[in-house]
Structures are given as C-alpha cells and as structure tokens.
Structure 1
Amino acid sequence: MEHIALYRAWRPQSFQDMVGQQHIIRTLQNAIREQRLSHAYLFSGPRGTGKTSTAKVLAKAVNCEKGPAPEPCNECDACRRITAGAVMDVLEIDAASNRGVEEIRDLREKVKYAPTEVRQKVYIIDEVHMLTTEAFNALLKTLEEPPPHVMFILATTEPHRLPATVISRCQRFDFRRVSLEEQSQRLRTICEQEGISAEDEAIEYIARLSDGGMRDALSILDQISSFSDGRVSYQQVLDMTGGIPSRQFAELARTILEDDVGGMLQLIEGFMQEGKSADKCMENLLYYFRDLLMIKMIPEADKLTERVLDARDFREMASAFSRAHLFRIIDTLNHYQSEMKYAAQPQTLFEVALLKLCSLPKGDGSVREEAAQQAAVPGAAASEVQQLKRQLAELERKLEQALQGGLAGGAGGGSERSAARPPARSSAPRLSSPAKLPSGLDKYVAQRNSPEFMAVQGKWNQILQAVKDEKVTIHAWFVNGEPVSMVDDAVLVAFKNDIHRETTEKPANKQLIEQVMERQLGHPCRLVTMMLKDWNEAIQGANAAPSEPFELEPPPEDAGGSGKEPWVDEALQLFGEELVVIKE
C-alpha cells in the first residue's frame, strides 16, 4: 500500500479535528447554526496552522446533504467528493500560479453561473497575497457583491500585503500558532494510532522545532519515524534535526562564566563536527540566554517559555549570572546574529561572538553584588583591594606634585608687574600630571630618527602580532600606541588614549610586552610610555628653538619694577643659558 505523508493522512476533516483554533471554530459553527454566514472570509496566520483545512471543512459544512450543519458528516456523497477534490463547484485556486488579471476575469465570468453539484459554490484562493494589483482591482466588485450562491475564502500568510479595500470586504480570522501542549497531545494521539513508539521528551522537542505549525511537526515526526523504524527517541530527534540539547548550552554558558576559552572552542568544534550549523547554534544560544534572563527576573517564568524542560537546571544556571551580564550577552549575540546573515564564514563569526562574551564584565555594578563576588573569591578580592590602594596612593602623589608646582609658580610672582605679565611659554610638553613625562625627554626627541629606532619601527608589526599571539586582550590595549623613539634599551611608545596607556603600564602587561620585544629585537628592552599629544608638543617645541644666540635688551628706565633681573630669568627659562647673551 502506498505511503501517504502523515500531515496529509491526518489533515482535519471536521471542525472537532482542528487543533489550537477554538476561537475561530466556535465563531464559524455559530454562524452556520444561525444561518449568518458571510459571503467572503479572510484566513490569515503562520504556515501550517490549518487555514486551508478550515476552508475545506467549512465548504463541506455548508454543502453537506444533512446540513448546513456545524459539523460535516463526512459520509454523504457531497462530503466525500469535496474531500477528494472531485466537486467542480468547490474550487481551490493557487494564487501564486494564477496571479494575473486574466485568470481573475475568467473567475468573474464563471461566478454568475449557479452550482451544478452542491448547494453553494465555494472559491478557496490560497496565498492570495500573490495576486497582482490589477487582479485585486478586478476581483473587488465581485468580492463585495457576489451572487447569493457564492462564497469566497481567501487564505494568506502575509495579510499586510493585501489592499485595505480587499480586507474590508471580508470577515477576517487570524490563526494563531499552536501551543506546545496542544501539539504534543495531538502528536501522541497520532503516534498511538500509527503504532509509533515515541518518548515524551522527543515529542516535546519536535513540537518546539515546528514553531507552532502542526504540519511542520507532523512532517518531522514522519521523517524521524521512518529513520528509526517506528521508535522515536530524543537523541534520534537531535541527530536528525541538527538540534542541540540544553545541557550542552549549559556547558557553553559555564565556559563563558569561567572565561574558559579553550573549553568553549572545543565545544564549538564539537558542534561543527556533528553537522550543526553556526547560525542555528547562534539562534538557539540566544533563546537559551533569553530563557535564563526570564527565569532570573520573573518567578515561575518557565511557564512563559516552551523551551524549558527542566526549570531547576535553568534556575541554577541563572543564579550564576547577574541581570546586567545576561543583558550584555543577549545584546552581543543579537548583534553578531545580524552580522552572520551576510558573513562568508558564519562559524568564524560565531566563535568571535563567544570570545567576545568571555571579555564582558560579569557583575552589574551594584554594591551588594560586588560584596558577594568578593566573598566568593577572597583571593581575587584582596588583589583588587591592593590594586585600588596603589592607584589611590599614585593619585595622591600626583596631586601633591601638582599643588607644589602651583605654589612655586605663585611665589615667584609677588609684585603687581609679575602678576600682570603673561606666563612664559615653555618648550617642554604641557602635561596633566608631571608623572606622565618620561625622564630625559629631550634625548628621546633627539633620537627619534636614529637607526636603532628605525629598526624597531620596521619590526613593529611583528611585535604587535607576537603580543596578540601571547594574549589578545593585551594586544587590544597595546595596539592603540605607536613607537616614536628609542634611547639605549628603552623604547618610547606614545598613546592616543589615556586608559589604553594606563592598562599597558600594568606590571603584568608591561612584562609580557617587554619579553616579546626582547625576542623580536634580539636584545633586552624596556617599555616607556607617554601620551601622543604631549610627544607632538615636545617635537614642536624642539623645532621652534632658535639656532642663534638671542640678545635681550634691558627694559626702559621708566618701566618701573626692580631692574632687569626678572627678564633675565624669563629669557633663561625660555631659551637656556647657552643661547642667551646678557648685555649691560
């Protein structure tokens, strides 16, 4: 006997067979009972939710020899022939193939003739949104005032593409996705009738895969039962559909939580070896973290999602993440999911997205959570406290130096004339803090074009790549700087951003960079840093220095003040003793 696909063999033949559309079935049955049927209906909704099946059942109900009845008998000649598609007065038209104005004009001509085999003509136009604008215009008048013996049923998955003039002439019914519970119950009934042995977990997973479409669920069940000789297990469903169990996503989430990059990459490689697609993995991982967030924020949230099989496992994993961390993870995954649609190598982008997750801040910044994290990891907390103390001491030292510099400047300007005179220009870089200026800056300026520095500059790309190979996070900060000079074994690197410079100066990061430079250059090297804007000012000051001695004339006798002493001091500060000649 020829095999018939399950979704065809189990197509609903009566209203009571429909799954998940009770709000529509009840309305149609009441209209039949009260003889208040409309001349035109619009059935819209996702694929596989029963739009065309409902249209055929309605056609049988209005034409049943024992009716019109709320339920077709499926035994009379009219019901059986409509089911077989052998009644000429019940036409199912595919609008994708008959979308032109000529086909609609032909339909308009035939509408006027009375039915020959059954009580009422029924035109079922499937995928009606595919009709052209001209075809819709040709259908409008007939759709609005058809002969009394004609009923139109329009079905579409995209109602927004229909003209408003067409929608306003129909009674519209919106089909919803079938719930997980209703789908699972229907699948169990079919398995019992078909002699298929299926695990409950497998049936629920098939229902989730179908995304609310009953036809898709039956197609998946049919495929897997053929593969497994009528015994459907959860693992077989995963193997056949390329799905990933939630426990593997839990392992992936744990590697993100522990910054275990190696373990994460091994899991991804395992997914790819099993034939999983990167875009599907990304989609499922996004759903997984969404469910974690829902369970963390809302009590009993497992009832709000159909993907959670064991709520206890989800709650345990959700408690390990902060809300802010989950929000950042979902934002990052959503961004990379959009990028993957246009990527030539989706797997690479998937790996990059997960590596990005490892570098996200874990906490949400709240005092309570910080305290909890410190209590959980006492060693790390102590290290953080020591680092904060060092930074505070450094800031106090810089502030003290800045205050001393300001007081010294104020002490030299006691007279009214000194206070009114504009401050002298300095060739040294203007820094926000004296501590940021490397000692012997003039030597670095003089050696900025030396052969030794040119050799360093020629190998800088290799140095950056070697740092990246050692630790990609250090490379992300270090790449912001550029080499500007070299004196002896000290390489001066200027940074555009202060935070990149400070992070690079951390002892562990600096030590790794110096080791890389020693390997690449063949001799021990020290890393010296400063801000790029300060370096540029130092270069400009050096270029602006006069090359000939500058003669300073004494001030006029009537200028007031205490003589030439302040002017001499200012000249010496500006140009240096070797360039100033004092004439009495």
Structure 2
Amino acid sequence: MAHIALYRAWRPQAFRDMVGQQHIVQTLQNAIREDRLSHAYLFSGPRGTGKTSAARLLAKAINCERGPAPEPCNECESCKRISAGTVMDVVEIDAASNRGVEEIRDIRDKVKYAPTEVRRKVYIIDEVHMLTTEAFNALLKTLEEPPGHVMFMLATTEPHRLPPTIVSRCQRFEFRRVSLEEQSERLAEICREEEIAAEPEALRYIARLSDGGMRDALSLLDQISSFTGGQVSLGDAVEATGGLPSEQFARLATAVREADAAAVLREVDEMMRAGKSADKCLEQLMHYFRDLLVARLAPQAASSSGRVADPAELREVAEGFSRERLFAIVDLLNRYQSEMKYAAHPQTMFEIALLRLCSAEDSQPGAEESARRSAPAGNANAASPADGDQLRHLQQQVAGLERKLEELRRGAAAAAPPAGGGGGGPSARGGGAGSGWARGASGAGSSGAAKASRVRLKLDAFLAAKGTPDALQVLGKWPQALQRVKEERVTVHAWLVDGEPVSFANDTVLVAFRNTIHRETTEKPANKQVIEGVLSSLLGRPVQLATLTQKEWQEALAEGAAVKSEAEELQLMPDDGGEPPRESLVEEAVRLFGEDLVIIKDD
C-alpha cells in the first residue's frame, strides 16, 4: 500500500493539528476571540515547523463564514476554497521567485481595493528575506499605513536579513523545532490513521533525521512507507533514507579507538559499495561522535539528542573514549568536512580523515602524555614516533627564536659606540673623526630613527620568517585563499586582491597593499573576519591577518638590510693583533703630535 500524498493529506487543517507551537496557537486564537488582530505578522523559525501553515490557518479563521472563529470550520465554502487556493483575495507569494520591486508595487496598487469574495484580503509572503532592498522599501509604505481590510503575513527562515523597519511594523512569532517526543507521537498517530505498520524505533529514527521539522518527518514517512509498502521497520528506514546502521557506526568507532586502520578501510569500502556518498558519511560520522560526546558528558540528555543510534548503545561505546579524545575527533572531522567541499576526490579525503584518527599521534592521548612525562628530559630517543611532527614543529620554533635573538644582538652591536670612541682622557679632545664614525654606526638618519625602530620591532618576526619553508608553503596557498574569499563574499575579494602576502609568522599572514584605501577597507572587522575564517579553514588552524602598505614593507626591508650590513661590518673589524681601522690611526696621531701638526690626506 503506497501513500504518495501522505504529507498533503496531513497538512494542518486546524490550529489543533499544529505540533509543538502551542504558545503561538494560543496567542493567535486569543487575538481572534478579542478582535485584536494585527495588520501584519512575521512568522520566523526553522524550516518545516509550520510557519506557512499557521498563515493559511489564520487566513481561514478570520474569513470563515461561521467566524471569525478560533478554529476554522473547514466546512463552509470560504474555508474549502482557501484550502484549495482558489480565493483571489487570499494571495500567497513566493518571494524567492517574485523578489523584485515591480511585484511589490503591484501589491501596493491592489491593496486599496476591498475584498470581493471573503471578509478580509490576506497577503502571505513566503521566504520574505529574499526580497530586494527596493522591494522592501516599496513594501514599507504599505505596512506603515495599511487599509483596514488588508492583512500581511510574512514567513522567513532568516529573520536577521529583514530590515529593522519591516520587523518593527509586524507582530513577530518565533516558531521552535518540534521535540523528538512530540514528533514521534504525531507520527504514530498518523500511522494509525493511515494503517501503516511502523516500529517505534523507526519512527524515532525518522524524527531524529528531521532535525525538529515536522514537514520533513512527514515527507520521510511518506517516502519510507511507499518504499516498503506500508511496513516501516528500522532497517527499511535506514536503507530508504541512505543512512548508515548504528552497528556500522559502532564498528567504525571501535576501529578508531583501537587504531585499527585495516578495519577502518574495510568499513569505508563497504559504505562505498553500498552507494553511500563520502561527504554524507563524514557528516553522519561527525554527528555520531557528537552524540558520543553528549553521552559521555551528559548521559541524561543523550536520550533526546541522539540522531543515529540508541542512547544506551551510545553510552556503552562512549565509555571507551576519553572526553579530550572525543573533542579532538569532532574537531578533526569538522575540519575535514570543510576541506571536502573543495576536494576533487571526496572518498580519499574521507579515508585520510579516518586514518588520521587511527594514527598514533591521535590515539590514546592519555598514555602518550604519561609516557612523555616519564621520559628523561633532553633524551631525544625517549620520544615516541608519534612525537615526530611535534618535535619538528618545536625545532622550527627554536630556529625562529634563534634568528630573532641574532637580529637583536646585531642591532645592539651596531648601536653601541666603538671602543675608545668616547670617555675622558686624551682621546676626548680629538674626537672629530671618532665621533663621525660613531654617528655612521648608530645615529645616521637620526630624524627617522624612532619611527624605523618601531616598524622594525613590529616586523622583526616577519622579516626573520621571510623566505622560510613554512612561510613559502603558506604563501603558496594565497591564490586558493583568494578564490575562497571570492566565493564567500565577492566584495571583500575586490579589496583583498590589491594586497600581496609578503610573510607568515606566529600564525599571522602579513599582506602588503598598494593602496591605503584597500588596506583600510580590508581591516574593517566584518571583512577581516571573513578573510581570517577562510585562512583558518584552509590552513587547518586559527590564522590572523596583519596588513601594511608596500611602502612600509620596503622601508622595513631596507632598514633590516642596513642593520645587517653594519653588524657584519662590525664583526669583520679585528679585535686585536690585526690592522686597526683608519679612524683609530688618526686618533693615535692626534694624541701623539697634537691636532695642529696632523694633516690628513686621502691616497
């Protein structure tokens, strides 16, 4: 027995048929009883929770021939025709396909005419957030001063995209997700009425997959009952919806816990042979480990939040994982899910994600931590193979710190006065040449010294990291980052394309801009957040953005090169036993023979 039109047959025909929205139903019914209806309503909430149905019911209730009544009778001519959609005075508009200003102007021109078939003219605008700015402006005037015979009902899943001027002129109702228990009871009632034999576990599975949307739950029940001929079992529900059995999730979790890569690959191969998509499998696996985490941290809440497995089974599997391990698994799967959107071979990414979970680096973190603590300090051989990546990372950090210390040492050496160039005694009176040499070493261009030193101190890390393998690897991904920013928000890409990445240090990408306006616009918090989000997703760790102009970067490079050259010159000067510099010879001659008798000639 197939039930092709099950959802349409069970579309709410009265307020009492709406599930999970009793607070909204009670408010609307009281407004009808007391004749205190508003001229405009805004129904917002997740998909499939009854927003458009509530608008249709309200239109029937106020235009019922036996009303206005808190419940439409569904027997009079008006109720029947409104349900069939044949009343010209009750207009339902899909704003996703009628989003222009011309359609709204047409409504504005027609609202002034009185209804011809029913008591009040009703306009139901679904997905109202899709209207253009010009269309919202055209609608605003009508909402400000509507005729008494007109009522507007706006429905949207994204109320934050509506202008505040529109929201403030409507009575707003927030529709909530339907709870698992309410959905299961409603589905059981429908199965009894439609003579569908359904297992309670199958109905709970359908309710979990619908994610709080009653419309999705009814559509899934319709699909599964048509697939099975009216016999709905849990196995049939999993098969018909393309899901994975909870036993397979449990086997996969066990293989990950035991770091059994061969078992993991066998499970993945079985999923692919069954025709599952890699991205969906990864999404469901992430939800499964999320449910394991909930079962581990809040066992009492697991019964109402589990999506793909029984709560008792979840608690049993969760006992084999530590909290930290589950947090790390969910975080890693989330990162790979983001990467999979742009992957040419999603199945390969799925396999790599699971093998990464099975690697020694990620398995049994508590045991590795205790082993690291018990290993002798400074014994490199005591580190396990899992510490290889971390050890290389620490070595790179140490090398970077050594470079920074060397730069600081050279800068201090260049700024220090030469030996014998100051102080009292005979050398003080003949300090002309000596003081000039000191000026060249530390005070040349003293008018911009403070500014140059500030820039150099801020950019020291970027100057030291310029050209390192880590920086080159990150900067090599800049074209990919630009493409993702363009897909995320094309206006931000238009400003960012003026910049050029020049270095990477301390998880920060430094970008030099040719134009100051482009740089300042990129630095705005909203734009910067988009860029940093793309960079973090691309590199797999939190990354920040730092900007400057190309002129400032070139000045910093030149200043760093000058400091390095002067430091090298100081290092090449002999300390003892070598030939003294020319300035030292001049000072010694002046000391021996007097300033009046010494004449300096260039060769």
The TM-score, its normalising length taken from structure 2, stands at: 0.60
**Which residue number in structure 1 is paired with residue 258 of structure 2?**
258
- Find the aligned partners of 1:394 and 1:306 in 2 and give their Cα distance: 42
What's the counterpart of residue 181 of structure 1?
A: 181
Aligned match of 1:121: 121
Tell me by how many angstroms 1:285 deviates: 1.1
Amino acid paired to 2:138: A
Give the C-alpha shift of residue 339 in structure 1.
0.5
CA apart distance, 1:111 = 0.6
Residue pair 2:4, 2:226 contacting (<8 A) in 1 also: no
Q: Secondary structure at the match of 1:35?
A: coil
In 2 relative to 1, CA 194–393 (structure 1 residues): closer, same or farther, beyond 3 Å?
closer
Letter in structure 2 aligned against 1:197:
A
Measured on the aligned residues, the alpha-carbon RMSD in Å equals: 2.8
1:277 aligns to 2:277 (yes or no): yes
CA deviations over 1:219-277 (Å, ceiling 9, x no partner) = 22112211211111111111121101222111111111111111110011001111111
Contact 1:62–1:68 (Cα < 8 Å) also in 2: yes
**Amino acid corresponding to residue 281 of structure 1 in structure 2:** C
For the residues of structure 1 that align with 2:90 and 2:165, how far apart are their CA atoms? 25
Shift of 1:105: 1.6
How far 1:17 sits from its partner (Å)? Answer: 0.4
How far is 1:187 from its partner?
1.2
Gaps of 5+ in 2: 384-576, 579-603
Q: Specify whether residues 389 and 123 from structure 1 end up closer, same or farther in structure 2 by C-alpha distance, changes over 3 A only.
A: closer
Give the Cα–Cα distance (whole angstroms) in 2 for the partners of residues 343 and 89 of structure 1: 51
Structure 1 equivalent of residue 160 of structure 2: 160
Residue 68 to residue 260, structure 1, CA distance change in 2 (3 Å): same
Shift of 1:2: 12
The equivalent residue for 1:453 is none
Cα shift at 1:389: 11
Counterpart residue number, 1:474: none
Equivalent position of 1:46 in the other structure = 46
For residues 209-224 of structure 1, the aligned pairs below 5 Å read: 209-224=209-224
Aligned mates of 1:364, 1:34 — CA distance in 2: 64
Q: Name the residue aligned to 1:577.
A: none
Aligned-partner Cα distance in 1 for 2:171–2:145: 14
- CA shift at 1:316, angstroms? 2.1
Q: Deviations over 1:266-314 (max 9, x none)?
A: 0110011111111111111111111212222224231451326533322
Q: In 2, distance between residues paired with 1:322 and 1:98?
A: 52
Structure-1 residue corresponding to 2:589: none
State the aligned residue count: 384
Match of 2:110 in 1: 110
Q: 1:393 to 1:343 in 2, by over 3 A?
A: closer
**Displacement of 1:93 after TM fit?**
1.5
**Cα distance per residue 1:314-345 (max 9 Å; x no partner):** 22221211111111111111111111111111
How far apart in 1 are the matches of 2:77 and 2:278? Answer: 53
Counterparts of 1:385 and 1:98, CA distance in 2: 65
1:126 & 1:389 partners in 2: Cα distance? 66
Change (3 A) 1:327 1:112: same
How do residues 55-454 of structure 1 correspond to structure 2 at under 5 angstroms? 55-307=55-307, 309-359=309-359, 360-363=361-364, 365=366
**Mind listing any 5+ residue stretches in structure 1 that lack a counterpart?**
371-380, 396-551, 554-584
2:347 is aligned with what amino acid? Q
Return closer, same or farther for 1:390/1:4 CA change in 2, 3 Å cut-off: closer
Structure 2 match to 1:515: none
Distance 1:171 1:345, change over 3 A: same
Give distance in 2, aligned partners of 1:347 and 1:364.
Answer: 27
Secondary structure in 2 aligned to 1:68? coil
Name the CA shift for 1:70/1:47 in 2 (closer, same or farther; >3 Å).
same
Distance 1:84 1:304, change over 3 A: closer
Secondary structure of the residue aligned to 2:154 is: strand
Maintained 8 Å contact 1:322/1:362: no
| Equivalent in the alignment of 2:33 | 33
Alignment identity in percent?
68
Which residue is 2:527 aligned to?
none
**Cα pair distance change 1:117/1:389, threshold 3 Å:** closer
Instruction: Indicate conservation of the 8 Å contact 1:89/1:121, yes or no.
Output: yes
Deviation at 1:347, TM superposition (A): 0.8
8 Å contact kept, 1:99–1:135: yes
Distance 2:310 2:140 in 1: 53
Cα 1:104/1:364, change in 2 over 3 Å: same
| Larger displacement relative to structure 2 (101-110 or 339-348) | 101-110
- 1:321–1:362 Cα contact (<8 Å) kept: no
Whether contact under 8 Å (1:296, 1:315) holds in the other structure is: yes
CA apart distance, 1:98? 2.3
**Bigger relative contact order, structure 1 or 2 (CA pairs below 8 A, ≥6 apart):** 2
Structure 2 SS opposite 1:300: helix
The answer to whether the 8 Å contact 2:44/2:173 transfers is yes
Greater Cα radius of gyration, structure 1 or 2: 1
- In structure 2, how many angstroms separate the alpha carbons of the residues matched to 1:283 and 1:21? 29
Write the distance in 2 (CA, Å) between the matches of 1:257 and 1:394: 24
Counterpart of 2:139 in 1: which secondary structure? helix
2: distance between equivalents of 1:301 and 1:288? 15
Shift of the 392–74 alpha-carbon distance from structure 1 to 2, 3 Å rule, reads closer
Mapped contact 2:302–2:311 kept (Cα < 8 A): yes
SS of the counterpart of 2:96?
A: coil
Alignment of 1:471-482 (within 5 A): none
Query: TM-score of the superposition, structure 1-length normalised?
Result: 0.62
Q: Distance in 1 between matches of 2:78 and 2:148?
A: 20
Q: Distance in 2 between matches of 1:236 and 1:284?
A: 18
Contact 1:180 1:306 in 2 (8 A): no
